[in-house]
């Protein structure tokens, strides 16, 4: 049995809580990537929810569990040992503080840039006993997630009837792509829950600014997404599958046809949740604007053109729940 070390609980009063509520379960769109109709189903899921689960993805369970094992080893270390991999700048180890603008959560995490050199450097502070095993597990997993994200983006391009099917995946495959990888741990908190009678928010509501995100977690619940009508629904966990969500940039690339989904994580009072997320981002200099191939005749762009660097800089200055795209939306004439 693995015993996780607890993050320091001083200042836990700054972490948002909410009253225990029974959230309705959500019938997540399930996309079988071996299904010939996958391209059509992917487009439908992106339009309706901006969120879906993929099965028959070709990623081995051994690869997934190997990285989860390494993550559990790290998060089980003493707080003093873990902090040797921080503070986040933004990469590295962080605990409770999310970003630099005051957002807090019942979470500890490791954030990596996905280039091998950056991972090599961080691995030496993350795993003192055998950094090579940790580095190898992270690198192999990232390569698999990149391939999966690109496969999905190319199927989406097929579903949108775009002739250049790599029009979006090329942004992730570019050697200058700005992709990140995050390992999250949401510790249990039985004593604090008994004191407060409320649930801690592990990671507050937000959208992801990149193009697409690929998530896998252990079998502990906590992930919730916000439907178009504002209803929050719980996503049943599935450690054998991957959950993907539309990011802000993909919403812009499709001129609002796809929806960047707002999501959050509620911490479990009795069970530890471990998740791993690949964030597929474009090169910093890439100009982001609606793709002409998805625009209908006479359709106007809903967004001002921006570079990923401009949008990322703006996002880093915002709070989690802010509408980051609001600054880049074109104002309707007459308003």
Alpha helices in the chain (DSSP H): 38-48, 61-75, 79-82, 116-126, 131-159, 169-173, 190-196, 248-253, 308-316
Sheet (strand 263-266) strand order: 17-18, 199-206, 263-266, 223-226, 232-234
- CB 324, CB 247: distance < 8 Å: no
**What would the two tokens of residue 170 be?**
């090329």
How far apart are alpha carbons 205 and 320 in whole angstroms? 7
Scan for tokens 């003493």, then name that residue: 78
The active-site residue, picked from 170, 273, 319, 324, is 273
Question: Which one, of 66, 69, 294, lies nearest residue 159 by Cα?
Answer: 294
Is 319 known to be catalytic? Answer: no
Dihedral angle computed from the Cα positions of residues 67, 71, 73 and 76, in that order, rounded to the nearest 10 degrees? -160
Radius of gyration from C-alpha coordinates of the chain: 20
| Tokens representing residue 66 in the block | 């190997």
Catalytic residues: 273
């Amino acid at each position: 049995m693995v015993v996780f070390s607890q993050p320091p609980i001083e200042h836990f009063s700054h972490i948002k809580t909410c009253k225990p509520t029974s959230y309705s379960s959500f019938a997540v769109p399930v996309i079988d990537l071996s299904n010939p109709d996958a391209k059509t189903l992917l487009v439908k899921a992106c339009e309706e929810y901006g969120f879906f689960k993929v099965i028959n993805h070709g990623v081995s369970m051994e690869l997934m569990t190997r990285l989860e094992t390494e993550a559990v080893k790290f998060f089980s270390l003493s707080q003093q040992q873990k902090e040797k991999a921080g503070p986040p700048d933004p990469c590295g180890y962080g605990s409770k503080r999310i970003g630099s603008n005051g957002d807090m959560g019942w979470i500890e995490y490791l954030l990596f840039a996905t280039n091998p050199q950056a991972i090599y450097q961080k691995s030496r502070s993350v795993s003192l006993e055998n950094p090579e095993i940790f580095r190898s597990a992270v690198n192999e997993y990232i390569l698999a997630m990149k391939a999966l994200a690109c496969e999905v983006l190319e199927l989406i391009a097929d579903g949108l009837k775009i002739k250049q099917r790599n029009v979006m995946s090329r942004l992730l495959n570019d050697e200058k792509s700005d992709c990140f990888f995050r390992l999250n741990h949401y510790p249990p908190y039985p004593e604090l829950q008994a004191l407060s009678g409320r649930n801690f928010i592990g990671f507050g509501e937000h959208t992801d600014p990149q193009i697409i995100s690929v998530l896998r977690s252990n079998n502990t619940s906590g992930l919730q997404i916000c439907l178009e009508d504002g209803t929050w629904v719980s996503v049943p966990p599935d450690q054998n599958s991957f959950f993907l969500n539309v990011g802000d940039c993909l919403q812009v690339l499709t001129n609002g046809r796809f929806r960047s989904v707002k999501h959050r994580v509620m911490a479990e009072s009795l069970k530890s949740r471990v998740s791993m997320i690949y964030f597929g981002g474009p090169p910093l200099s890439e100009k982001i604007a609606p793709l002409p191939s998805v625009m209908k005749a006479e359709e106007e762009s809903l967004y001002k053109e921006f570079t990923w660097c401009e949008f990322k800089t703006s996002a880093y200055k915002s709070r989690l729940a802010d509408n980051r795209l609001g600054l880049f939306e074109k104002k309707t004439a007459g308003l």
